């Protein structure tokens, strides 16, 4: 009977001891996905908005080359380029992100990797928000 209780206590002790570094890895992985999930639903909106801007740019190209139209066309093209960059950045991040890296690497390597990925996806998140806001402002001026 004592042996069963001792075995149960040892099992509880072993299971109760978690590696704080492994918990950090899990937390970083979760943060990466949360940052991704915040803007991912807008990914297709970026492609649509970029398409609208490119159509508008093509229409402006057919207009007279008055300085104000040329300046507007430049703004439209720059906004479309920014949207395309944000779209590509999210696609690149998703293609290169390794959610199971912690299963095959040391905890230190995984911790370093997920810290880096958190920085990358945070930059993508910011770029997407910036490009969407810029695109909306430019499209709001469309006649």
pLDDT at residue 141 tops 90: no
Q: What pLDDT does residue 11 have? A: 47
Range 5-8, long-range pairs (CB < 8 A, 24+ positions): none
Residue range 71-125, pLDDT digits in tens: 888 999 999 999 999 999 999 999 999 999 999 999 999 999 999 999 999 999 9
What mean pLDDT comes out for the span 9-23? 62
* Cα 125 to Cα 99: distance, rounded to the nearest angstrom: 18
Q: Nearest 5°: CA angle at 133, between 131 and 139?
A: 95
Average pLDDT, the chain: 86
Higher pLDDT, 104 or 69: 104
Q: What's the pLDDT band for 17 if we cut at 50, 70, 90?
A: low
CA angle (62, 44, 81) in 5-degree steps: 45
User: Angle of helix 20-39 relative to helix 107-140, nearest 10 degrees?
Assistant: 20
Determine the pLDDT at residue 66: 73
Mean predicted confidence (pLDDT) in 13-22: 66
Q: Note the pLDDT of residue 3.
A: 55
Task: Tell me which residue of 119, 120, 121, 112 sits closest to 25, measured CA to CA.
Answer: 112
Distances (CA, A) of 96 to 54, 62, 99: 28, 40, 10
Q: What is the pLDDT of residue 57?
A: 87
Confidence category of residue 65, pLDDT binned at 50, 70, 90 = low
- The total number of residues shown for the chain amounts to 143
pLDDT-derived band at 40 (thresholds 50, 70, 90) equals very high
């Amino acid at each position: 009977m004592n042996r069963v209780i001792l075995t149960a206590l040892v099992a509880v002790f072993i299971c109760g001891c978690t590696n704080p570094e492994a918990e950090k890895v899990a937390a970083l992985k979760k943060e990466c996905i949360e940052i991704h999930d915040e803007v991912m639903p807008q990914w297709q909106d970026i492609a649509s908005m970029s398409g609208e801007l490119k159509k508008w740019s093509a229409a402006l190209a057919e207009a007279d080359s008055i300085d104000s139209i040329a300046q507007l066309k430049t703004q439209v093209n720059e906004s479309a380029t920014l949207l395309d960059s944000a779209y590509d950045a999210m696609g690149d991040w998703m293609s290169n992100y390794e959610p199971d890296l912690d299963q095959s690497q040391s905890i230190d390597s995984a911790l370093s990797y997920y810290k880096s990925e958190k920085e990358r996806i945070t930059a993508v998140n910011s770029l997407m928000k910036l490009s969407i806001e810029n695109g909306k402002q430019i499209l709001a001026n469309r006649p």
